[in-house]
Amino acid sequence: MQLKRTSLICAALFAAPGAAFAQATYQIYGTINVDIESVEATGSATGVNFQSRSRVTSNSSNIGFRGTEELGQGLRAFFQVESQVNVDNGSQGGAFWASRNSGVGLIGGYGQVLLGQWDSPYKYSLVRLDPTGDTGIAAATGILGSTGGITAGQGGATFADRASFHRRVANVLQYWSPNWRGLTGRLAYGTGDTNVGSTANGVSEASGLRPALYSGTVIFESGPWYAAVAGERHKDFQALNTLFGSAQSSGHDDGYKAGLQYSFNSSWSLGGIVEHLKYHADNINGLGALERKVTNWYVTGKYTVGPHSVALAYGQKGEEKLSGAGLSDLPDSKAKQITARYGYLLSKRTQLYAIATRISNDANAFQTFGNTPITPTLLFRDPARGADPTGFGVGMIHTF
């Protein structure tokens, strides 16, 4: 459905004669992205191997409604309600109203402010370098962001939820700056909200902990260049406490990343990302503070000619660096991912594609597909640690 100018007919029925009405725009939009895949996770010497299986997967398929209203003097109100749709099986798992980027806010000369649920600035900053657009089994979050992409409030029910730095943040306030000579910025504050006192998130009211998220990015885009730096802090998410099954304690986790992409012409582009993650717990089982550090990197190249596009990507997760609480660095904890993607445009809105990816884990690593994983990542010593997730498939994307 194309974007349409509409009058506020319902409001006019109740307004005084001769009243002036602000113009409003509304849009229905969406993406359907479905593929058929063969996936497996094998090669673990000490854990569980998941033999090859076929599946049809809906990759971030969605439908949304958004609109703006002119308020005068350069100010606009806006809203967006975007929901996941599981077109592969019709299930409601995660497919509820406003399950994706949704909010309400104001747009003016000084930028944009919104309240609701939205991708963090840290996540948003470098998604465009991902050859899959952060969808499906080959997403860069197999390496970056620690444990894959999630939608959650501050904290989470599992280690994977609490450790992830690739977050769509619930209960969030965001500010987006206007463009100034190619520079833009985003800031976000995620509140604890109902996480406090929730047994699902393991944060008791008596603990005095108040989980919160602080995130920001600065982006520069000019001509062939795209560059971004981003940082994010998680206060009292307790990722390490969950990792080691210890009692609650205060702490903070920090993520930093920088990326650069250069487009040589309309066909070629190369890009890379470096990320450093640091987790800190003030107390682990009465043994004192513990820190966990890891550095990741990711490079990608894309080539487009006519309706054809090809992308290759390679990423590596660094070794686990542990200090404090009687622990030391964890050997054999690196992982790497290689991805290839081919796309063919049938029209501006419809594409056929083929994808292949493989994550190679060392014996003490447990990286899995950043989206639609086939193995759990609930605990450090996951049943599938050391196994190597592999997948390939063919699919179709249609946008409207």
- Domain coordinates in residue numbering, the chain: 26-399
Residue 121, H or E segment: helix 121-124
Task: Name the superfamily (CATH) of residues 26-399.
Answer: Porin (2.40.160.10)
Nearest CA-CA partner of 186 in 114, 256, 235: 114
pLDDT higher than threshold 60 for residue 377: no
Nearest CA-CA partner of 277 in 297, 298, 258, 293: 293
The number of helix segments (H) and strand segments (E) in the chain equals 4, 20
Residue 374 has a pLDDT of 83
Reported confidence tier of residue 195, pLDDT bands at 50, 70, 90: low
CA distances from 270 to 135, 182, 313, 343, 345 (A): 20, 20, 10, 17, 21
The average pLDDT across 223-247 equals 94
The average pLDDT across 303-317 equals 97
Alpha carbon distance 183, 20 (integer Å)? 37
For residue 147, give every residue at least 6 positions away whose Cβ sits within 8 Å of its Cβ, in sequence order, or none. Answer: 159, 160, 161, 163, 164, 377
> Which segment of 1-10, 80-89, 102-111, 346-355 scores lowest on mean pLDDT?
1-10
Q: What are phi and psi of 320, to 5 degrees?
A: -70, 125
Higher pLDDT, 8 or 330: 330
pLDDT higher than threshold 60 for residue 104: yes
User: Would you call 72 exposed, middle or buried from its count of C-beta atoms within 10 A (0-12, 13-18, 19+)?
Assistant: exposed
In percent, the amount of the chain with pLDDT more than 70 equals 88
Segment 215-234, tens digit of pLDDT: 999 999 999 999 999 999 99
Segment 80-97, tens digit of pLDDT: 999 999 998 887 776 689
The residue type at 279: Y
Nearest CA-CA partner of 303 in 260, 358, 343: 343
pLDDT higher than threshold 60 for residue 380: no
Nearest CA-CA partner of 353 in 59, 1, 128, 51: 59
Reported confidence tier of residue 382, pLDDT bands at 50, 70, 90: low
Alpha carbon distance 116, 124 (integer Å)? 16
Q: How many residues can be counted in the chain? A: 400
Q: What are phi and psi of 241, to 5 degrees?
A: -60, -40
pTM of the model: 0.91
- Going 349 to 350 to 354 to 355, the CA torsion angle's sign is positive
Reported confidence tier of residue 27, pLDDT bands at 50, 70, 90: very high
Segment 203-218, tens digit of pLDDT: 777 778 889 999 999 9
The residue type at 30: G
Nearest CA-CA partner of 122 in 103, 94, 141: 141
CB atoms within 10 A of CB 166: 24
